[in-house]
Structures are given as structure tokens and as C-alpha cells.
Structure 1
């Protein structure tokens, strides 16, 4: 039994897959800082007495955010994430990015609201440095790469399953029969959500469906590989509907969920190199323009 579990956790995958995943993850860190959550920098101007650190922030303990600390973490994280996306010094840069992003999340979530869409992404940042070097064109099978992706996948599924557990723990069965989605639509619903809300009992049915989907999410690990891709596609479609109706993106979670995909097939680096070579060849193939003929001298 132990050998079977160990083999499942470390099922080899191509190093190119984790290389592509790593590039995507670190580029998202930069995008997160600049596009998705730039509001975190505003914490620098909030009085320190309003800082209520998470349990881990009290346990370590982490310093109270100041303008110097927040801006230092921001710029260091941005530069190191872009450097880590190149694949160079994967362990040193990877651990540095994880520590800084962890602190960035503690700063973000220590003022009253804790988002659960960051869990799997943080796990991905924690395990990627353990893989070591991996290139986009490297098709060598690696247990270390497989372990990093598997642990991230488990974190993705835990996000769903534990979300259902929290709903039932704090909301009880009434969560499914209440007005949770109706309140969400009132607060931040789109025009599409307004149309859906007019259908009798559809929101109640959706709440039952959400609980069922989240509780059954671990089944993604027991279905065949072909069906697994269909299940992952359903995961993405769920979030697409969420974005389209109540404008909640779960962007970091969606990035972590690419750990289920065969990213090595995309070969972004190879395609860019091919385009660059093709562009150079086309430029060489263009014949030089002949010099203009001189007009005869006018007597």
C-alpha cells in the first residue's frame, strides 16, 4: 500500500512539463503584483494597530507592515519572480519567491478578509524549488517533477473539498437552501447573473450543485486520464461561469490547476525560437533593391 501511494505521488512526468508550469507560475506572480492585486500596496498606509496577523504571522512572528517593508517586498518579489521565470537558479530564486510571496499574502490577508484561492498557488511556489533544473525542451521523465505537480494537484482538490466542508460546517445544510448566491448577485452580479436569477429555483439548484461538485472533486484522481482532462475542463468551466456571473476570477487557483495539463505540448520557447529563425530567414530572402538607373545627362 505504501509503495503504491509513493509511486502515485512521484509518478514521473517530463521535465518540460514542470519547466512550463514554473514559468507560468512565476510570470503570474508578477502579473498578480501589477494587475490582479495592486491594492495590497495600499496596506503600507494603513495604521499598524489595524494589522491583525494570521495565525502563522503570530507564530513566526512576522513584522507589522510599514511603508518600507511593503515596498521592499513588492519590488524584490517582482524582480525575483521575473528572474525565476527564466528557469535560472531554480532553487535559490524559487525559495526566495516563495518566502516573499508568502509574506505578501500575510500582509494582504491580515486585515479581515482571507481568500482561499491562494492556497494551491502557495503550495506550487513551495514545491517548485525542490525540482531543480528543468528545461522546456527536456523530455526526460522525472519523479521530482511528478511529485511537485502531484502535490499541487492535491492542493487544488483540497481547495474545493475543504470549501464544501467549511460551507457545511458554518452554514449547515441551510447553505444549500438559503440565499447565498442571491446575495452574491445583488452585491456583484452581472447582467447575465440577473437573467439567471429570474429563473425559479435555479439558484437553489446551483447551490446544491456547488456542494456536490466540491465534495466529489477528489474523484479527479481515480478516473482514467482521458476522463481526468474532462473533469479538469469542468473545473475551468465552473470558474468561467463564476467570472461571468459574480465576477470572481480565482486567478491564482486557475494557474495552479494547470498542473493537471500536459503543458510541455505547448512548447512556448521552441515556438518563439522558430518564429525568430523564420523571421531572420525571411529577412535574408528579401532581395536587395537594385540601384536606381541614372538618367542620361541633358545636353
Structure 2
């Protein structure tokens, strides 16, 4: 079990995942959850902190407190995305984002799509330093990615468990999706809703998919990546029909992907060189050879 939990991964994968996660945190503040700043406009007695907020305990949010969290977290997340001071910046971003989420979720609604992202922020500082394109393997980074993967799959499995625990078997045959379409459905959802029994079949399929999601851990890499692709397609359909994005969850789910192969800076540099008729940088070519050999791909011109 310990070998599986700490299976080494390329440091370049950790670096890419770290950059993606911290950039998402910055985007989350200004795109997905800017509404958190409006929470302080409601009376303080409506603030009912989550259990962790009661145990610490944390103060009732005020406009000044939330503004400080917003701007400091935004700055630190952008700095952390560079990979510098991974422990200091990483722990700081985790603590501030956790408080941001406590404020967001302490007014009667808790979103379960944040779980995987919070776990990723908690474990990334333990991965140590990592550079983009570095093919050397790290057990600490492997553990950070594996724990994030477990959190992602737990989000699915426990969602199915909650459906059956609180909704019972009637959740499968009820009008859950029909009500969602009425509230926030798109034109595509309206077309799907016209097909008899299709929404009931979809509800059975959703629960089956969530209960079987742990199987992804026993699949070979090729099939595991295909399964993760299916997970992403599921959320794409969800967004296209009932406009629920699960964006934080999707960011955390990239922990399954070989992100070390995605090197936009190198690609942009090559594109500029080609446009100006300059030969490829030998360092970029050498790095590609090392990276390709590390992941078992053929290395050729």
C-alpha cells in the first residue's frame, strides 16, 4: 500500500500540477467565487460557521477581513504558481483559501466540488521543489498527487452514498434531473427531457458511475486516462445541460494526467523561433528527449 501511495512521478508533473492549481485559485477568486465578498453584507447572525470554523474558532467575517483575505490570497496564489518557496507560499495559500471557503460555505450551502482542490492545496507544500520539464522522479510528489486523486474519487463515491443515504432508492426513480432542468436547464436539456424515461435512465447511470469510480485505480494507464476522459465528458454534458461546472473538481482531477508533457512555454518559444527562421533551442530538444525516455515514449526527431 505504501508503495502505491508513494509511486514516484516526474517532478515536471508536480510542477505543472502546482502551477495549474494555484492559477485556478487566483481565477476562482475573480471568476467563480467573487460573490463571497458580498456575504459580509448580510447580518452577522446569519453566519453559521462550519464545524472547523467553530473549533478553531474563526471570527465572524467583516468587510475588512474578507477584503484582506481576497487580495493577499490572490497575490500569494500567483506567486505560488511560479514554484518559488513551495512550502511557505503553499501553506499560506492553503490556510487563506480554507478560510475563504469557510466564509463561502457558512451561510447554508456547502459545495462538494471543492473537496479535491482543498486536499490538493493541503498536500502540495509537502511535494518540495519541482521544475517544469524535469523528468527525475519523486516519491513525495507522487504521494501528493495520489492523495489528491483519492480525494477526487471520494467526491464521486461519497456523492452516490449521500444520494442513497438521504434520498433512498427513490432518488433513482424520482424527478431530480427534471427539477434541475426546470430550474437551470438549457435548450439541449429541454430536448433530452422530451425523450421518455431518459432522465430516469440517466439517474441510474449517474449513481452507477459514481459507485464504480474507484475502479480507475486498478486500470492500466491507457484505460485509466480513457476513464478520466469519460469523467471530463460527464462534466461537459452536465455543464451543457444544467449549467453546473464543477470547475474546482476538474482542476483537481488533472492530478491523474501526465501534465509534464504539456509545456506551453516551450511550445510558444518554438513557434516564435520557427516564425523567425531560427533553429530549435538545443536545450529544449534535449529536455524533450529526456522526458520522452522517462515516460517510455519513442525518442526520435
Q: Does the pair score TM above 0.5?
A: yes
Correspondence for 2:71: 75
- Map residues 125-274 of structure 1 onto 2, 5 A cutoff: 125-274=121-270
The question of whether the paired residues in 2 share the 8 Å contact of 1:30 and 1:82 is answered with yes
Quote the Cα distance in structure 2 between the aligned partners of 1:281 and 1:71: 49
Quote the Cα distance in structure 1 between the aligned partners of 2:228 and 2:104: 29
The question of whether the paired residues in 2 share the 8 Å contact of 1:136 and 1:269 is answered with no
Quote the Cα distance in structure 2 between the aligned partners of 1:136 and 1:179: 47
- The alpha-carbon distance between structure 1 residues 128 and 280, as it changes in their structure 2 partners (threshold 3 A), is farther
SS at match of 1:74: helix
Residues 90-135 of structure 1, C-alpha deviations (whole Å, 9 max, x = no match): 1100000000000000000000000000000000000000011100
What is the TM-score with the length of structure 2 in the denominator? 0.90
- The alpha-carbon distance between structure 1 residues 36 and 14, as it changes in their structure 2 partners (threshold 3 A), is same
Residues 241-294 of structure 1, C-alpha deviations (whole Å, 9 max, x = no match): 100000000000000000000000011232244345556777xxxxxxxxxxxx
**Deviation at 1:45?**
1.5
Name structure 2 gaps, 5 residues minimum. Answer: 279-301
Correspondence for 2:61: 65
Quote the Cα distance in structure 1 between the aligned partners of 2:145 and 2:41: 38
Quote the Cα distance in structure 2 between the aligned partners of 1:274 and 1:90: 29
Q: Of the two, which has the highest radius of gyration?
A: 1
Q: 1:39 aligns with which of 35, 44, 52?
A: 35
SS at match of 2:234: helix
CA RMSD after TM alignment: 1.2
The question of whether the paired residues in 2 share the 8 Å contact of 1:13 and 1:143 is answered with yes
**Deviation at 1:197?**
0.4
Correspondence for 2:290: none
Residues 7-31 of structure 1, C-alpha deviations (whole Å, 9 max, x = no match): 0000000000010000000000111
Correspondence for 1:124: 120
The question of whether the paired residues in 2 share the 8 Å contact of 1:43 and 1:70 is answered with no
- The alpha-carbon distance between structure 1 residues 86 and 276, as it changes in their structure 2 partners (threshold 3 A), is farther
Correspondence for 2:107: 111
Residues 2-61 of structure 1, C-alpha deviations (whole Å, 9 max, x = no match): xxx000000000000010000000000111011111111111222211100001110111
SS at match of 1:135: coil
Quick check: 1:23 aligned with 2:19?
A: yes
